[in-house]
Structure 1
Amino acid sequence: MAKVNKAVTAFNLVLMLSLLIFISMAESRILGAKKATPECDTVVGVESGDTCFDIAQKFQLTTDFFDSINPNLNCDALFVGQWVCVDGTVN
């Protein structure tokens, strides 16, 4: 009988831990999953020799703000004619 009680207790413990993990993951997705969404108002095309830093300086932007309004931009792989955002908001 003691073996059965230990098995049931272990099963209940695993079940409760699983439930707590599941609820924790669900709440973090609901409560903390809201990411800042950039909205671009003005774009410019990259010119030959441009870098992200050059573009940010040209439009008097901080590098942090430039990065926030261009979240998927790979500054190491800019190409001529690529559109980059130079004015916008981050909601």
Structure 2
Amino acid sequence: MAKASNNIAMDLNMIFIVSLLLVFVMAESRSLLGSIVRGNSPPVCDEVVDVKSGDTCFVVAKTFNLTAEFFDAINPNLNCTALFVGQWLCIDGSVLN
């Protein structure tokens, strides 16, 4: 009887260890994948403009002949629904990966 309970305990311990390893591997792969997708370098901004009353991201991008993708890439943390007068927007720069 004692041998059977020892085998069960060893099996449960092995399952626990494998589960911990699996969780660790999944967490590491997500952080690695996230840095690959986002790129390792932040964008470099070479020129900014300040938001004026009535400006939208679309208007600013079109005024400076920027594609939406490039505008978003050089302004990665910008919330276009919450622009405020005087806020700086990047209108020229580069995105390094």
Aligned residues: 90
**Residue number in structure 1 paired with 2:26:** 24
Structure 1 runs (4+) deviating above 4 angstroms are none
Tell me whether 1:80 sits opposite 2:85 in the alignment.
yes
> 1:42 Cα deviation (Å)?
0.8
> 1:27 Cα deviation (Å)?
4.3
CA distance, structure 2, for counterparts of residue 25 and residue 76 of structure 1: 32
Name whichever structure is richer in helix by fraction. Answer: 2
Alignment of 1:1-91 (within 5 A): 1-29=3-31, 31-34=32-35, 35-36=38-39, 37-91=42-96
TM-score, normalised relative to structure 2: 0.80
TM-score, normalised relative to structure 1: 0.85
CA distance, structure 2, for counterparts of residue 28 and residue 80 of structure 1: 37
Q: Which runs of 5+ in 1 are unaligned?
A: none
